[in-house]
């Protein structure tokens, strides 16, 4: 039986590479994105159909799930990949930026899960893969809001798997570290100081963090490598929860070292 995967944030980067990989593995793919004008190359690939889905718009989520079911007849896996990073000192972030960060990275992901779960329960099977981050395992400088959303995704996923296990619905977490994608450009929002003199003290910190993040990404695995891990997570029936890529050292350090030592190493890596 042919299987079907629905992927959010498939217009570029990890989402697009994941869509292409699943197609090569003989899956039907519902590649969803906010702007369908970015879907031309995917639309030309057999067994990939593109649907509009904005994770901050519940109506578009519901319609994308309905359209996928109408086109393919079923959904076997959902990859919650849509998201972006908000970088900057907490004091410089606006309320609107905070709300948008949580609406996209947390509440949107939950709404996609809510929309597909009735179908998964009816067919008594399904897999949800939530793309988290190493930032969901350890707090990073100038990333307090982004880390907060990814910590939320980690806790949500870890608990949700117990609720869904009786229905044979699996929940998986994919945790990329630095990845060479446009995340550090198109998919990043940098908080602005807006000319407020008293918080210019943060500028040097944020500038150093951004520089080191970009430098780490240059030599990192690309989006295709993450797509391969996502495919493994979907098809692995072992019950494993977490799948890391280019990030294993950080959780290990956090588990084995004191908070003080872990903080020292992170500061040395990102604020040098």
Query: What does each C-alpha distance from 171 to 61, 140, 189 come to in angstroms?
Result: 19, 25, 28
Strand partners, 52: 33
Q: Count how many Cα atoms sit within 13 Å of the Cα of residue 186 in the half-sphere of its side chain.
A: 9
| Residue linked to tokens 């949700």 | 160
Q: How many helices (H) and strands (E) does the chain have?
A: 10, 9
Query: 68 with 84: CB under 8 angstroms?
Result: no
Q: Does the CA dihedral 168-173-179-181 come out positive or negative?
A: positive
SS3 222: strand
In the numeric block, which tokens belong to residue 211? 């520089």
Task: Identify the active-site residue in 146, 184, 231, 243.
Answer: 146
Catalytic site residue 231? no
Contacts of 87 (CB under 8 A, 6+ apart): 142, 143, 146, 188, 189, 190, 191, 206, 209, 210, 213
Report DSSP state, residue 79.
Answer: E
Strand partners, 33: 52
Residues annotated catalytic, as ranges = 146
């Amino acid at each position: 039986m042919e299987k079907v995967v629905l992927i959010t944030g498939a217009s570029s980067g990890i989402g697009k590479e994941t869509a292409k990989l699943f197609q090569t593995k003989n899956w039907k793919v519902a590649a969803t994105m906010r702007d369908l004008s970015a879907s031309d190359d995917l639309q030309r690939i057999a067994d990939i159909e593109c649907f509009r889905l904005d994770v901050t718009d519940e109506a578009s989520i519901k319609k994308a799930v309905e359209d996928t079911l109408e086109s393919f007849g079923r959904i076997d896996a959902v990859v919650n990949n849509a998201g972006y990073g908000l970088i900057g000192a907490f004091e410089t972030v606006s309320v609107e930026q905070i709300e948008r960060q949580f609406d996209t990275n947390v509440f949107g992901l939950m709404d996609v899960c809510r929309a597909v779960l009735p179908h998964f329960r009816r067919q008594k099977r399904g897999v949800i893969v939530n793309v988290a981050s190493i930032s969901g395992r350890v707090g990073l400088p100038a990333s307090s809001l982004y880390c907060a959303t990814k910590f939320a995704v980690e806790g949500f996923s870890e608990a949700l798997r117990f609720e869904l296990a009786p229905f044979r619905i699996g929940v998986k977490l994919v945790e990329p570290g630095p990845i060479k994608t446009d995340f550090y450009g198109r998919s990043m929002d940098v908080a602005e100081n807006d000319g407020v003199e008293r918080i210019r003290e943060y500028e040097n910190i944020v500038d150093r963090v951004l520089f080191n993040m970009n430098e780490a990404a240059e030599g990192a695995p690309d989006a295709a490598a993450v797509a391969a891990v996502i495919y493994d997570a979907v098809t692995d029936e072992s019950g494993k929860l977490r799948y890391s890529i280019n990030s294993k050292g950080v959780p290990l350090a956090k588990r084995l070292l004191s908070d003080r030592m872990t903080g020292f190493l992170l500061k040395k890596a990102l604020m040098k």
